[in-house]
Amino acid sequence: MAEQSDRPINTFSIGFSEKEYDEAPYARKIASHLGTHHTELYVEPRHALDLVDRLPYWYDEPFADSSQIPTAMVCELTRRHVTVVLSGDGGDELFAGYNRYTLGLEMWNKANLAPYPVRRAAARALLSQPTSRLDALARALPSRWRPPQLGSKLHKFANAISLDDPDAMYRRMLSHWHEPDQIVLGSRESKGILWDPTVSKSIPDFLDRMQFLDTVTYLPDDILTKVDRASMRVALEARVPLLDHRVVECAWNMPQRMKVRDGSSKWALRQVLYKRVPRDLIERPKMGFGVPFDQWLRGPLRDWAEYLLDERRLQRQDLFAVAPIRERWLSHLGGANWGYPLWNVLMAQAWIEANPQVDL
């Protein structure tokens, strides 16, 4: 865009005072290198507190991707300056950019080296350690090589290697509640394409299969929904150039070595980027568009969450299983990180609160 435009383009970013979530300094340096007109906003917990009660009205359903908070904020910020914006959504699905792809391949390849009982024992050992303790171990590493949210990632790893099927392992990696039937009373999880055995026959390669499944589920049902509703709420048009059908066709015709090479994801896109941005500005561990809501739930959002997760409220509704939810909530307040599974329940509860006419 900067090369094609005869005037500086606009770029927008948000940041956080919590350093492990803050990518604003990197965005600022890249914007400076490209000569863009850059605008940023540092998000404080009070912004989230002002926002959470409005989320059910904006999404019209119990939508529970926690990055809906920063997405809504960056859309509000952007709309003050422009009416049309370009988003990079789709790049991870098309060019194998998600950490879970390289992690999934690595885990499955390594898992097969050990007998299944050994893997299960290793998984139990990891899961016996609270995420807070594992995060503390990560802080002993140099900041450049310190993986964000190590405890949560190691727990995901442990849950994944405890399974003996790659597709089941991938479903476990995607899942916040591993046994959702036990959370919603009298329910049975709908088995969609993620369980379809014909997919593995049609797409035998595991990496291709992970990308395909995300492209037909996670991308339209989460990522694009999140951005579309957050942007349309403020009359901002978000276009997605990477999902142009010619780019999609090009990506799916690329050999895997053009996507993942030597442990590096999105290899082809990186080669294009290296021609325009110095490597030292972009070579660092990938982060999602997350917020420190695990900390906020213990602080400024605690009263809001406690009201929605109140034991008497849950019992009166007779919708969710009270014991596992309250157990996770109390454990989270004690320092463990159960933010993602709790956010699912909180967004369902917030939607119910916003729609009292719904008969439960």
The predicted-structure confidence for 204-244, as pLDDT tens digits, reads as follows 999 999 999 999 999 999 999 999 999 999 999 999 999 99
Q: How many domains does the chain have?
A: 3
The encoded tokens of residue 203 equal: 């797409």
pLDDT of res. 173 = 85
C-alpha span between 14 and 23 (Å, rounded): 8
User: Hey, what are 76's tokens?
Assistant: 């509000």
Q: How far apart are CA 69 and CA 63, in angstroms?
A: 11
Of the residues 281, 313, 329, which one is the last residue of a structural domain?
A: 281
Enclosing domain of residue 346: 295-354
How many helices (H) and strands (E) in the chain?
Answer: 21, 4
Per-residue DSSP letter, 358: S
Retrieve residue 194's tokens.
Answer: 């993620």
Rg (CA), the chain: 21
Does residue 5 form part of some domain?
A: no
Together in a domain, 159 and 306: no
For the chain, percent of residues with pLDDT exceeding 70? 95
Q: What pTM value is reported for the model?
A: 0.83
Residue 152: partners with Cβ closer than 8 Å, 6 or more residues away: 131, 337, 340
Instruction: Give pLDDT, residue 285.
Output: 67
Last residue of a domain, one of 160, 182, 215: 215
* CA angle, 150 then 179 then 161, to 5°: 45
Q: What is the distance between the alpha carbons of residues 344 and 186, in angstroms, rounded to a whole number?
A: 18
pLDDT band at 119 (very low <50, low <70, confident <90, very high): confident
Phi and psi based region of residue 78 (left: phi greater than 0; alpha: psi -120 to 50; beta: remaining) = alpha
Query: What is the pLDDT, as a whole number, of residue 100?
Result: 87
Residue 311 domain-assigned (yes or no): yes
The mean pLDDT value for 164-181 works out to: 87
pLDDT of residue 102: 85
For residue 19, being part of any structural domain is answered with yes
54 and 145 inside one domain: no
* Final residue in a domain of this structure, among 252, 281, 310: 281
Q: How far apart are CA 341 and CA 348, in angstroms?
A: 11
My answer on whether 208 and 148 are in the same domain is: yes
Q: What mean pLDDT, rounded, does the chain reach?
A: 88
Give 144's pLDDT tier (boundaries 50, 70, 90): low
Same domain, 232 and 319: no
Same domain assignment for residues 27 and 116? no
Measured between alpha carbons, how far is residue 100 from residues 14, 106, 164, 175, 327 in Å? Answer: 24, 9, 17, 12, 28
In the DSSP assignment, the letter for residue 223 is I
Query: 303 pLDDT exceeds 70?
Result: yes
pLDDT tens sequence across 29-83: 999 999 999 999 988 878 888 888 899 999 888 999 988 988 999 999 999 999 9
